DNA sequence: GCCAGGGCTGCGGAATCCGCAGATCTCACT
DNA sequence: AGTGAGATCTGCGGATTCCGCAGCCCTGGC
């Protein structure tokens, strides 16, 4: 059981080296396994994770810290905003003329905007907005988003009910 | 400083009593503050949270456990799927005839569907899909979603770039 | 008035976290 | 080849945290 552990470790080394070439740092199998563990339970002890992925407690700790520092993952509490007092949410589809990315950056800077993604299809950008009430939502969409230079049009989808919200990819 | 702590604690008691009337268990100010702490760092020690919200370590622990048990929040690692090997993501807008909720439930049961929300606007449902490649994505949309009885039409938005993804509401 | 239930505190033992030193491996450069 | 820098893993204490439990307080119902 000792030899195979060593073998797999050296394999990981190779993977992590190769990966650092790409701009998006690829992840080796061990880091993926660690992330998977933390997707099941963000507070799982490092020792338990180490046992599951075949690493020492300290090594897991160092890897997790690095993943957090690099921004590859974040360990956070997630809720349904509706149960936490934010009464109005909406997805907004946006069409842009000119530089899409600069508009996306402007949206990113807004506190009420939780989620920004550039897309292919009949919208250039999809943005999710979390607000306290209708007035707040209206204000963000009409006064702030539509006011951005380059925004050609927007279409809103007000949330009625959140049915599913998971973070378990890789677990399947 | 002692008296005010006691005062605020009894106030919370009232809040939590009132709230349990509603079907969606409302949260008192202290639980919100705890969630807020854990939205900043899902691994923050209970003692540190207790100091921040004015509760003992044990009380925070009990509240967190309850919030998890009730499903009000989950503490998990979240990533950008693109960096974790899922090459294709899309948001799908769906129009339904008949019972919207049953369609939403069917989507919820699909492993590739990460996010389902019922909306007002030109779609009845928005669903986010996470796949490994184009074939997989095509299969889910055309073979599985469109095959659901009651789905009238779908429109897809393939993700090009994730710009923002936060879980910090309440922190502002 | 009294009891049941929920929530908080304080406490002690077990488990976990955390920093550090040393070992190993790889890669680049001479 | 040889060497040195860099990255990663392991092992080990000491400090911190987690966890279950007993006791107390407050509230609401009988």
Averaged pLDDT, B129-150? 95
Nearest 5°: CA angle at B80, between B119 and A64? 135
Chain A residues lying within 8 Å of B106, measured CB to CB: none
Report pTM.
Answer: 0.80
| Average pLDDT across chain A, whole number | 85
Q: pLDDT per residue over B89-128, tens digit each?
A: 999 999 999 999 999 999 999 999 999 999 999 999 999 9
**Cβ–Cβ < 8 Å for B138, B92:** no
Chains A, B: CB contacts within 8 A come to 205
Chain B interface mutation, best of A118, A163, A168, highest count of B Cβ atoms under 10 Å: A163
With 70 as the cut, is the pLDDT of residue B11 above it?
no
Beta bridge partners of B159: A119
Helix (H) or strand (E) holding A57: helix A57-70
Q: Could B164 and A84 be called an inter-chain contact, meaning their C-beta atoms sit closer than 8 Å? A: no
Q: Could A170 and B121 be called an inter-chain contact, meaning their C-beta atoms sit closer than 8 Å? A: no
The answer to whether the beta carbon of residue B45 comes closer than 7 angstroms to any atom of strand D is yes
| Nucleic strand D contacts from chain B, 142-171, CB < 7 Å | none
* Confidence at residue B171, expressed as pLDDT on a 0 to 100 scale: 56
Q: Could B75 and A76 be called an inter-chain contact, meaning their C-beta atoms sit closer than 8 Å? A: yes
Q: Could B158 and A130 be called an inter-chain contact, meaning their C-beta atoms sit closer than 8 Å? A: no
Q: Could A75 and B79 be called an inter-chain contact, meaning their C-beta atoms sit closer than 8 Å? A: no
Residue with structure tokens 């969409």? A141
Say which range, A114-128, B74-88, B149-163, has the weakest mean pLDDT.
B74-88
With 80 as the cut, is the pLDDT of residue B13 above it?
no
Beta bridge partners of A164: B116
Identify nearest nucleotide to residue A28 by CA to C1′ distance: D8
- Residue A9 CA: distances (Å) to CA of A21, A34, A35, A55, B84: 20, 14, 17, 9, 20
The answer to whether the beta carbon of residue A33 comes closer than 7 angstroms to any atom of strand D is no
Cβ-proximal residues to B168 (8 Å cutoff; 6+ apart), any chain: B39, B40
CA distance B52 to B73: 19
Maximal CA-CA distance, chain A: 64
Question: Three-state secondary structure along chain B?
Answer: CHHHHHHHHHHHHHHHHHHCCCCCCCCCHHHHHHHHHHHHCCCCCHHHHHHHHCCCHHHHHHHHHHHHHHCCEEEEEEECHHHHCCCEEEEEEEEECCCHHHHHHHHHCCCCEEEEEEEECCCCEEEEEEECCHHHHHHHHHHHHCCCCCEEEEEEEEEEEEEEECCCCCCC
Chain B residues lying within 8 Å of A27, measured CB to CB: 83-85
Closest residue, CA to C1' of C25: A10
Structure tokens at A42: 């963000």
**B27: phi > 0 → left, psi -120 to 50 → alpha, else beta; which?**
beta
Neighbours of B143 (CB within 10 A): 9
For A:46-105, CB contacts with B below 8 A are 72-86, 90-91, 93, 104-105
Closest residue, CA to C1' of C16: A45
Query: Residue A64: helix, strand or coil by DSSP?
Result: helix
* Confidence at residue B31, expressed as pLDDT on a 0 to 100 scale: 95
Structure tokens at A101: 């990315």
Domains in chain B: ranges and CATH: 3-77 (1.10.10.10), 82-158 (3.30.70.920)
For the purposes of burial, counting CB atoms within 10 Å of the CB of A164, is it exposed (0-12), middle (13-18) or buried (19 or more)?
middle
Share of chain A above pLDDT 90, in %: 73
The distance (Å) linking the CA of A29 with the C1' of D26 is 53
For the purposes of burial, counting CB atoms within 10 Å of the CB of B109, is it exposed (0-12), middle (13-18) or buried (19 or more)?
exposed
* Confidence at residue B83, expressed as pLDDT on a 0 to 100 scale: 79
Long-range contacts for A146-150 (Cβ within 8 Å, ≥24 apart)?
A148/A103, A148/A106, A148/A107, A150/A96, A150/A97, A150/A98, A150/A99, A150/A102, A150/A103
CA distance A146 to chain B (A): 18
The distance (Å) linking the CA of B30 with the C1' of C26 is 51
Q: pLDDT per residue over A3-20, tens digit each?
A: 333 333 333 333 333 332
Query: Residue A144: helix, strand or coil by DSSP?
Result: helix
In terms of Cα–Cα distance, which of B15, B100, B91 is closest to A85? Answer: B15
**Cβ–Cβ < 8 Å for A119, B91:** yes
Q: pLDDT per residue over A137-171, tens digit each?
A: 999 999 999 999 999 999 999 999 999 988 866 55
* Confidence at residue A12, expressed as pLDDT on a 0 to 100 scale: 37
């Amino acid at each position: 059981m000792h030899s195979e552990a060593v073998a797999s470790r050296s394999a990981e080394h190779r993977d992590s080296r190769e990966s650092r070439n790409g701009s998006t740092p690829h992840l080796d199998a061990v880091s993926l396994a660690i992330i998977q563990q933390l997707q099941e339970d963000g507070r799982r002890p490092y020792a338990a994770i180490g046992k599951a992925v075949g690493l020492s407690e300290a090594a897991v700790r160092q890897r997790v810290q690095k993943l957090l520092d690099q921004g590859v993952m974040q360990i956070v509490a997630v809720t349904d905003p509706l149960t936490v007092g934010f009464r109005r949410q909406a997805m907004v589809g946006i069409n842009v003329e000119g530089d899409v990315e600069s508009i996306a950056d402007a949206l990113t800077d807004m506190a009420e905007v939780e989620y920004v993604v550039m897309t292919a299809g009949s919208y250039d950008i999809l943005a999710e907005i979390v607000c306290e009430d209708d007035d707040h939502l209206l204000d963000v969409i009409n006064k702030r988003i539509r006011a951005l230079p380059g925004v050609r049009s927007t279409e809103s989808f007000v949330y009625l009910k959140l049915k599913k919200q998971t973070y378990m990819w890789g677990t399947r």
